[in-house]
Each structure stands twice: as structure tokens, then as C-alpha cells.
Amino acid sequence: MIQVVTYVITNHLSPGSLTPLSLVSGLLGICSVCLAAQGNIWTYLFGFAQVGTYTWLCLEQRLYGEVAINAYYFLTMIYGVYVWGKRLRVTDDGLRESVVRTRRLRTVHFVWIAIGVLVLSYLTGWGLERWTDDTQPYLDAYTTIPALVAQVLMILVYREHWYIWLTVDILSVVLWLRAGDYCMTAQYVFWCCNCVYGFIRWTRCSDAGTR
């Protein structure tokens, strides 16, 4: 409903400002992250479709960091299907569910990861500003590098990836507001809320102890 209402209002106020692809991509993205928050392996079905549509939108806006990361998402999601498939929960009857058992990172490991992400994001933003015509180089970088790391942690089913995704989603709200695409903005607002729900859900589904 958020996506549909945003799309209708925006195109009513500014006819032709949004394409149907923005609406489709937003809907696919919401379905994907809702399933991811539940630790449901079917998230990958919607994820593959969302990556394709979102990449096209980023090409239109000349957001090259976002384009690169979506190519990365596509490749890592293939591996993610395998990893999640190996960690599906099993019922008392011996049947495999579609929900995975999640894990936790040690605090010291997460701190080092965060420091590395900040440094690499700054260097990437500097490179985009100097060598490309990226319209928002630093913001593009700070939504790209953290997302690369968050994707790996998600595939390896570590719950701490939700902290990083929340940061990426908040910055992405700003990025797409500045780009004038309110369907994508609405998607990321919803994703921010979903990060909180996802962290709570993954904490409840995690294995005992820290890994």
C-alpha cells in the first residue's frame, strides 16, 4: 500500500516523473526484506527479481556504486541459497522448514568490521568523485560499501547484519529523496522499520552462544 499510494500521488503531482518500474521494484524489495527478516529462504526468489529492476533504475540515475553492488548481490545470492539451505531448521518430525537458524558475532569482531567499513566507504567516495560523473559520490559510497559487508553477514546468517542494513537504509532514504524518486524513498523508509523487526526476529531464532 505504501508503494502504490506513493506512486499514484507522485505521478499525479508530477506526471511521468516515475515509471511503473519504480513501483514494481519497490514492491519486490519489500517482499524480499520481509521474508529476510523472518529468516525465510524464499527471500531469494523476490531478491533476484528486485536486483534486476533496481539496477535499471540506478543506471538511469547514474548511481554507479549502486549498480556495482547489485551485480554483487546477484552473485552472492546464488551462494546464499546454498548456505541458507544447509541451515534450515528441522521440526521434531524431521521435516525441514523454510526458516534458518541464525548466529551471533563477537562484539570485538563487529567493531573491527565497522571501522573497516567507514574507511573503505570514504576512499570509495573520493574515487567516485574524482574519476566518475556520479551525482552523489560520497552518499553513493556510504550506501554501497556497508551493504557489501551486510550482504556477506546476512548470507552467513549473522544477526548483526541488521545494524549495518539500518545505517544503509537511512542513508538511502536521503539518496533517493535527493534523486526525486519517492517510490524508492518509501521502500527504504519501510526497510528501516523492517531492520528493527528483523533483528528481533533473528535474535529469537539464533543458536545459543556467540559464533
101: left (phi over 0), alpha (psi -120 to 50) or beta: beta
Tens digit of pLDDT for each residue in 67-111?
A: 887 888 899 999 999 999 888 877 666 556 778 888 899 999 999
Contact residues for 182 (Cβ-Cβ < 8 A; gap 6+) = 6, 9, 10, 18, 176
pLDDT of residue 15: 66
Tens digit of pLDDT for each residue in 181-201?
A: 777 787 788 889 999 999 998
pLDDT of residue 50: 92
The alpha carbons of the chain give a radius of gyration, in whole angstroms, of 17
pLDDT of residue 5: 77
The per-residue pLDDT of the chain, averaged, comes to 84
Rounded-to-integer distance, Cα 166 and Cα 192, Å: 6
pLDDT of residue 108: 95
For residue 3, is pLDDT > 90?
Answer: no
Lowest average pLDDT, out of 89-98, 123-132, 176-185, goes to 89-98
